[in-house]
Structure 1
Amino acid sequence: MDDPEPDRNISGGEAGGGEPTAFDPGTGETRAEAVVDRLGDLYWQKTYGGQAAFECLVRTILSQNTSDKASQPAHEALMDAYGGADLAASLADADQGTLAETISSAGLYNQKSERIVALAQLVCDEYGGADGFDAFVTTGDPGEVRDRLLAMNGVGPKTADCVLLFSGGRDGVFPVDTHVHRIARRMGLAPADADHETVREHLERAVPGEKCGFGHTAMIQFGREYCTARQPACLDDPDACPLAGLCDQVGVYPASGEVVDPSEGD
């Protein structure tokens, strides 16, 4: 089956979010920083922040369990239909069935539309609307903001961290999606059996805070182009991977052509 992902993730490249920013290379204190530095040279170095917090929350929910190729049209359709002066107020009053049809390209549209309407109502009740929620996300204590986001129905760690990064512009936030989870364990940057939260803790501890944002987006791009789940570039040619010298190849066996989840490797 072809990879359903587009060539570039929505936060990468010249057309994506964030502002191009130059960072000094690391001093070699951690291998994880060396990986991120090389990814920055390969793709991009950026700082993130400034996206409207509630729109960012909605966009991330739309992206759950699907690709950018499916979620981006759903986001655009939602904004065309409901993106008025206050997105939260518009969605709080939305008919769920109509919203579900609007976002159908994102998959799981009944579940996602129900969550979005409920979150919009909560944001209006607790923060007075999208602007109040934006102020909470961008100026509140990061730990408290994350805890509150995680307490919302349908918001998991990756969604909460994406809101903190892309809206709040918070340093030291390294969201972990399926690509980051796989690559960090395959490379040996986190334990082979680590869950998503443990991978996040290892990366945020080892990578300077200001580099975590582009580390996240560039690692996703690397996972699409080189370190795929079933056919990593190193499987046939060790020199084909630009990060070969920094990788432990956990669960990848070029001699036999076998690739397994890192937790199942040696």
Structure 2
Amino acid sequence: MSDDPEPTMNISGGREGGGAAAEFDPATADTRAERVVDRLGELYWQKTYGGQDAFTCLVRTILSQNTSDKASQPAHDALLERYGGNNVDLAGSLASAEQSILAETISGAGLYNQKSETLIDTAEWVLEEFGSAAAFDAFVKDEDPETVRETLLEVRGIGPKTADCVLLFAGGRGGVFPVDTHVHRIYRRMGIAPPNADHEGVRAVLERDVPAAKCGFGHTATIQFGREYCTARKPACLEDPDACPMADICDQVGVYPATDEVIDPAETLE
């Protein structure tokens, strides 16, 4: 198992920060996907969805692309220390940033040259389209979710997962199930999504089969489950079927305990 377990005081700050134990009943689930999410509710806390500043959330998600939270969080903190602050419009601050200095500031996040360019371009877009980070925040929280998603996807460097995270963590929108590498792997491995489904294909299945009120929790809890149990190369079931709380409802697509082999689910179709 991973050495990155669910903390007692998670990112929502436990009960004091608005967090709550998930109270889902797998016996009442209408689909396998919902049953998985309900099982995850027996393991993990619900986070706080919504309420984050939209542009800050967008910056955080861009920094997290293709890297771990452990690496991207210090870069995020350094960025806010240099370019944020009270009464500072972060979009305006980043739009006028020197790219080389911004790259150095976020170097711990990896791909820092590319990400610094994306951050500056995105900040400029926010100012051109909305006038300020505050106006962008209002757009994300008040506009129709599909309109927000389509608008974000038109911006270079913003993909579906980034757009969905902004909708979930800033907009607090129900029915949004962002698909990162853990979510993409796990639901294909379980046999809930087709083995060759891309990220958007997995998202379509989950948002169809998981009730809207459970999608946000499903996203964050699945990530934690992927870190602890269903890792890419050595899932818990490889050595002990009973070690995984999902063993009885998982198809183990691409996982072969008899030969100690693990492949991407899509490769099972070749």
Question: Retained in 1: the 8 A contact 2:11–2:47?
Answer: no
Counterpart of 2:231 (choices 228, 233, 240) is 228
Counterpart of 2:140 (choices 130, 137, 155) is 137
Deviating more after overlay: 81-90 vs 185-194: 81-90
Q: Aligned partners of 2:249, 2:203: CA distance in 1, in Å?
A: 19
Give yes or no for the alignment of 1:54 onto 2:49: no
Question: CA offset at residue 6 of structure 1?
Answer: 7.2
Give yes or no for the alignment of 1:237 onto 2:240: yes
User: Residue in 1 aligned with 2:43?
Assistant: 42
For each residue in 1:179-208, what CA deviation from the matched residue of structure 2 results, as whole angstroms up to 9, or x when unmatched? Answer: 100000000110011000000000010001
Runs (5+) with no aligned partner, structure 1? none
Question: CA offset at residue 40 of structure 1?
Answer: 1.4
Question: CA offset at residue 59 of structure 1?
Answer: 0.5
The count of residues paired between Structure 1 and Structure 2 equals 261
Say which SS state the counterpart of residue 245 (structure 2) adopts. Answer: coil
User: Residue in 2 aligned with 1:91?
Assistant: 94
The sequence identity of aligned pairs, in percent, is 68
User: Residue in 1 aligned with 2:71?
Assistant: 70
Q: How does 1:18-33 map to 2 (within 5 A)?
A: 19-21=18-20, 22-26=22-26, 27-33=28-34
Q: Aligned partners of 2:235, 2:48: CA distance in 1, in Å?
A: 28
Say which SS state the counterpart of residue 45 (structure 2) adopts. Answer: coil
Q: Write the letter of the residue equivalent to 1:184.
A: Y
Say which SS state the counterpart of residue 104 (structure 2) adopts. Answer: helix
Q: How does 1:178-193 map to 2 (within 5 A)?
A: 178-193=181-196
For each residue in 1:187-245, what CA deviation from the matched residue of structure 2 results, as whole angstroms up to 9, or x when unmatched? Answer: 01100110000000000100011111111011011111110111111011100101111
Q: How does 1:98-137 map to 2 (within 5 A)?
A: 98-137=101-140
User: Residue in 1 aligned with 2:10?
Assistant: 15
Question: Retained in 2: the 8 A contact 1:251–1:261?
Answer: yes
User: Residue in 1 aligned with 2:214?
Assistant: 211
Counterpart of 1:170 (choices 173, 176, 188) is 173
In 2 relative to 1, CA 86–8 (structure 1 residues): closer, same or farther, beyond 3 Å? farther
Question: CA offset at residue 47 of structure 1?
Answer: 4.2
Say which SS state the counterpart of residue 176 (structure 2) adopts. Answer: coil
Deviating more after overlay: 220-229 vs 84-93: 84-93
User: Which portions of structure 1, spanning 4 or more consecutive aligned residues, are displaced by more than 3 angstroms?
Assistant: 21-24
Q: Aligned partners of 1:13, 1:83: CA distance in 2, in Å?
A: 29
Question: Retained in 2: the 8 A contact 1:185–1:191?
Answer: yes
For each residue in 1:144-179, what CA deviation from the matched residue of structure 2 results, as whole angstroms up to 9, or x when unmatched? Answer: 000000001100000000000000000000000111
Question: Retained in 2: the 8 A contact 1:89–1:120?
Answer: yes
User: Residue in 2 aligned with 1:199?
Assistant: 202
Q: Aligned partners of 2:182, 2:107: CA distance in 1, in Å?
A: 24
Question: Retained in 1: the 8 A contact 2:5–2:228?
Answer: no
Deviating more after overlay: 168-177 vs 256-265: 256-265
TM-score normalised to structure 2 length: 0.92
Q: Aligned partners of 2:144, 2:57: CA distance in 1, in Å?
A: 18
Say which SS state the counterpart of residue 125 (structure 1) adopts. Answer: helix
Counterpart of 1:260 (choices 235, 259, 263) is 263
RMSD: 1.7
In 2 relative to 1, CA 112–176 (structure 1 residues): closer, same or farther, beyond 3 Å? same
User: Residue in 2 aligned with 1:81?
Assistant: 82
Q: Write the letter of the residue equivalent to 1:210.
A: A
Question: Retained in 1: the 8 A contact 2:24–2:41?
Answer: no
Question: CA offset at residue 55 of structure 1?
Answer: 0.4
Q: Aligned partners of 2:72, 2:46: CA distance in 1, in Å?
A: 24
For each residue in 1:16-35, what CA deviation from the matched residue of structure 2 results, as whole angstroms up to 9, or x when unmatched? Answer: 14832444425221011110
